[in-house]
Amino acid sequence: MEKELPARKKIRLYGYDYSQAGYYFLTMCVENGHEMLGKVVVGDGVLDVPFVQLSEYGIIAEKRIREIDEHYEHISIQNLMS
Biggest alpha carbon distance in the chain?
Answer: 54
The H-or-E segment that residue 60 falls in is: helix 56-66
Residue 22 lies in a domain: no
The pLDDT confidence band at residue 81, using thresholds 50, 70 and 90, is low
Mean of the pLDDT values across residues 8-18?
85
Q: How many domains is the chain built from?
A: 1
**Domain assignment of residue 54, yes or no:** yes
In a domain, 16, yes or no: no
Q: Tens of pLDDT along 20-41?
A: 888 877 778 888 878 899 998 9
pLDDT at 13: 86
Q: What is the pTM of this model?
A: 0.64
Query: Which domain, by its residues, includes 43?
Result: 36-82
Check whether 63 has a pLDDT greater than 80.
yes
CA pair distance 22, 69, nearest whole angstrom: 15
